[in-house]
A and B are shown apart, each in its own frame.
Chain A
Amino acid sequence: MRQKVIFTVPYALWILLFVIAPLVLIFYQSFFNIDGQVTLGNYATYLTSGVYLKMTLNSVWYAFLITLVTLVISYPTAYVLNHLPNRQFWLLLVILPTWINLLLKTYAFIGLFSRTGTVNQFLQFVGLGSHQLLFTDASFMFVAAYIEIPFMVLPIFNSLAEINPSLINASKDLGASQWQTFTKVVWPLSLPGVKAGIQAVFIPSLSLFMITRLIGGNRVITLGTAIEEHFLTTQNWGMGSTIGVILILAMFIVMFVTGEGRQKGGTALMKKHRFTWGGLYLALVFVILYAPILYLMIFSFSAGKTMEKYHGFSFQHYTDLFADSRMITIVINTLIVALLASLIATIIGTMGALVIKDSRGTWRNSLLSLNNVLMVSPDVIIGASFLIFFTVLGIRLGFVSVLLSHIAFCIPIVVLMVLPKLNELSPTLVDAAYDLGASRWQTLSRVILPAIAPGIFAGYFMALTYSLDDFAVTFFVTGNGFSTLSVEIYSRARQGINLEINALSTLMFIVSLLLVVGYYFISKHSGRRNRIVAVKEGDAQ
């Protein structure tokens, strides 16, 4: 009983303070005007002034287009991937770019799309002339789709992989052609993945503001940019919150329409097919996914000052980077926040998973829904509502507010990584521990925790990457004195190309790669530990 209380309190506090309170606050704030008076004026303005309605429609339209483009590219990708030998490896390659800081990928496109950038040089070379690419709707959508592709591929891939190969054989056996098999069997069975993908792409696309600002310039105005402007520039929090409430409503509608997305790894049998066209298509997708990253890396070694023309090999930008004490401080800050936040989130999140595992029925479902609120909320909403929350509590913006925010949005990630491991754990395993005389704490420390350790580890790791990658939430809750890498890159990128950033992104890419490799090594190693010991003991006998 005591154990249960000890676990419930931190997790419940998190739900209360960082899930419910901010949502309530943003709703509450939407009834205040800029002078602090209670009013329905914000809603009236929203509904009557055409500007806001048009902006909302605009956002929905952009989000729709981005989602559509992403889906059209991702479905065939997932389909072809699924038929490859070693498909898990290729999937990893699709996911790898998500490990590169979002800001850096966006930044790469500033170079690629600029007036005299590489793409325009190419267009001129083939005789199509140079065009204004940056700050257009098309480039905005292209970059957004580029960023979102892996998030669409993953759930579709998983649902395709789950399809039992016998079903496909059965369909062919019953006389269906390849195409009929696809439309009548494969497509309907992969719909859960498609829905999960749409959910994962549409909602963030509604509220993009970083890509909008950097690539779309001030031409594209979305709900995201509007919220950012009202909170951080015009300081009209009431109107900002009103738009936030609209965005939350839109989010619920999307979730309702697409239903609960499932994400689960599959273990269907591998098939060895040769898809020449498929292979070509896949190669193209990989080129698109990796080109911007390589592009950044190549120019980090250029002696020049721009990403237009390569000026010969040089380590100049790396030397500049290491001499840039502001940047070094920020890197250290970012690391400290990420390490601390994911550690604390892992502890609270694991407790949360244990609490959810022990709960039943509607109570369990409510806990799960509350847990997932921060996972599905657009970053701007989290950022804006946390900003209100910290201001109300009188917490100064800076290290503490950033750390608390990162802990808050990392907790549900840990829960979602740990909970499946707990569910996999046979209930008789726990009974067996009691049966053999273990107390509750002994059962927890000797049986449950070791058995779910891979989940806890993965949770910590995911939390770490989310924290390192976060831009939007931090952007809202960081004051003037404190900055993280993403925020810093954003402000530098808004001032134009700076090859020091290229050097930084090369280093970060290498670190990300090492982390991935390390993650795979450790997760394999943890399973093998006993075996190594076993061999040694066996030798001794």
Chain B
Amino acid sequence: MSNNIMEFRHVSQQFGNNVVLRDIDFEIEAGKFYTLLGPSGSGKTTILRLIAGFDQPTSGEIYFDGQQINDVPANRRQVNTVFQDYALFPHMNVAENVAFGLQIKGVKKAETDRRVKEALHLVQLDGYGPREITAMSGGQRQRVAIARAIVNRPKLLLLDEALSALDHKLRVEMQTELRQLQRQLGITFIFVTHDQEEALAMSDQIMIINDGTIQQSGTPVDIYDEPLNHFVADFIGESNIVPGVMKADYLVTIDGQDFECVDAGMRPNERVEVVIRPEDLDITTADQGKLTVTVDTQLFRGVDYQITAHDQRDHEWKINSIHQTTVGAQVGLAFDPEDIHVMRYNESEEDFDARLDSYEEDD
């Protein structure tokens, strides 16, 4: 409880008959960088709007610093938002935009000026204060929006698809800067995106949301290495997902062929799904591989080749390899037991965590 700045308890949101959020529960620890990741329409913005106070939940409680804040209006919450479309006031220049929140609070002119300058410095916009918003580029507007929010020293900063409107190069640059800024200021960030690479690159913690429910939360590495279910495995990174049967602890069968793995805690002979990441598959000769496949396509992507192949049972395999192969060739696929991740059908996040704890303690 001590370090939690924000908490949702059984929060649901409904617009008319349309249930947008179902029983959302989470806790946000102070000082960390959180990312809400999910496909568009999954309810991410709705969650942010509840946190900011633009909407009230249909049911459930929202806590901020230990206080229930369901009925506290947006203008009295210590939360600031960086909007997806920036929402910069078009009739004010950069400095006036950044100063807005301070002026509303009645902060003295001298102090306002100083803090505006400081905030613009933090987002590397020194000297841009007198510029019109229309004279700023997309990336610069983005920074103004961030400066306008952080100048108020909120306890929690919400960023809704903050980088989505930028082109790729600028976006990657801003990712690093945002992360640095968050460390420097020590403000808790909740960042919303539908871009999984962005989420993996920036976050301390990721919450994956789909269809109004949180699917899995954890560190980027946890989520990437140990996805809870088909949706998460598919949404985060590329993956080969094939059905299998868990014969015993640490032994899984795919299409009648046994493989050693590092998963345990399931019922004997339970039907499961097996995930192997394309970059964990190595191409060798047909006789050395654990699986034999025929290469169908090969695309050069700069860093590596993206290869698709099929096995005897017509399962398709995606392979990322730095070595070239030949379309039509029969090759072997090699991988280690750690490269296999086994998922149970319909396992809840608590059960999943408990199971992992149980056998990882054994080790």
Contacts and interface: CB of A to CB of B under 8 A. Distances in A.
Interface in B43-100: 49, 52-54, 73-76, 79-81, 83-85, 87-93, 96, 100
A434 B87 CA distance: 12
A451 interface: yes
B291 to A, nearest CB: 51
Contacts of A426: 85, 87
B152 interface: yes
B146 to A, nearest CB: 13
B225 interface: no
B131 A534 contact: yes
Contacts of A434: 53-54, 73-75
Contacts of A538: 130
A433 B74 CA distance: 9
B74 A447 contact: no
Most buried by A among B53, B73, B104: B104
A431 interface: yes
Nearest to A436: B101
B263 to A, nearest CB: 45
B87 A534 contact: no
Contact of A431 (B81, B90, B96): B81
Contacts of A533: 93, 130
Contacts of B130: 533-535, 537-538
B92 A530 contact: yes
B148 interface: yes
A431 B105 contact: no
A435 B74 contact: yes
Interface string A423-452: 000101101111111110010001100110
Interface residues of A, number: 26
B237 interface: no
B74 A431 contact: yes
B83 A446 contact: no
A436 B92 contact: no
A421 to B, nearest CB: 11
B96 to A, nearest CB: 8
A478 B322 CA distance: 90
Interface string B102-137: 001100000000000000000000010111100000
A108 to B, nearest CB: 43
A439 B93 CA distance: 21
B112 to A, nearest CB: 13
B100 A435 contact: no
Given A450-B91, A451-B91, A534-B131, A432 B75 contact: no
A441 to B, nearest CB: 11
A148 to B, nearest CB: 37
A447 B104 CA distance: 12
Majority secondary structure of chain A interface residues (helix, strand, loop or mixed): helix
Q: Please tell me the size bucket of the interface on B.
A: 20 to 34
Given A434-B54, A434-B75, A446 B100 contact: yes
B79 A435 contact: yes
Contacts of B101: 436-437
A429 B84 CA distance: 11
B89 A437 contact: no
B76 A437 contact: yes
B83 A438 contact: no
A534 B132 contact: yes
Contacts of B80: 435-436
A528 to B, nearest CB: 9
A541 interface: yes
A453 interface: yes
A432 B81 contact: yes
Contacts of A437: 75-76, 101, 104-105, 152
Contacts of B127: 541
Nearest to B98: A436
Nearest to B49: A431
A54 interface: no
Contacts of A534: 93, 130-132
A286 B301 CA distance: 63
Contacts of B104: 436-438, 442, 446
B159 to A, nearest CB: 12
Nearest to A530: B93
Interface in A374-417: none
B73 A429 contact: no
A535 B92 CA distance: 14
Contact of A429 (B52, B89, B148): B89
A239 B131 CA distance: 65
A450 B73 CA distance: 23
Contacts of B53: 434
Nearest to A450: B91
Contacts of A428: 83-85, 87
A439 B131 CA distance: 27
B310 to A, nearest CB: 43
Interface string A203-239: 0000000000000000000000000000000000000
Nearest to B103: A446
B52 A530 contact: no
Interface in A337-384: none
Contact of B83 (A431, A439, A453, A530): A431
A131 interface: no
A530 B89 contact: no
Interface string B207-245: 000000000000000000000000000000000000000
Given A431-B87, A531-B132, A537-B130, A438 B75 contact: yes
A538 B100 CA distance: 20
A412 B87 CA distance: 29
Nearest to A449: B91
A169 to B, nearest CB: 28
A533 B91 CA distance: 13
Contacts of B84: 428
A531 to B, nearest CB: 6
B83 A432 contact: yes
A438 B148 CA distance: 13
A68 to B, nearest CB: 44
15 contacts: A426-B85, A431-B83, A431-B87, A432-B87, A434-B53, A434-B54, A435-B75, A436-B75, A436-B101, A437-B104, A446-B104, A450-B89, A530-B92, A530-B93, A534-B130
Given A446-B100, A446-B104, 11 more contacts: A435-B74, A435-B79, A435-B80, A436-B75, A436-B100, A437-B101, A453-B91, A531-B132, A533-B93, A538-B130, A541-B127
Interface of A: 426, 428-429, 431-439, 442, 446-447, 450-451, 453, 530-531, 533-535, 537-538, 541
- The 7 A-B pairs at the shortest CB distance, nearest first, are namely A436-B101, A432-B87, A534-B130, A428-B87, A434-B74, A450-B91, A537-B130
Interface of B: 49, 52-54, 73-76, 79-81, 83-85, 87-93, 96, 100-101, 104-105, 127, 129-132, 148-149, 152
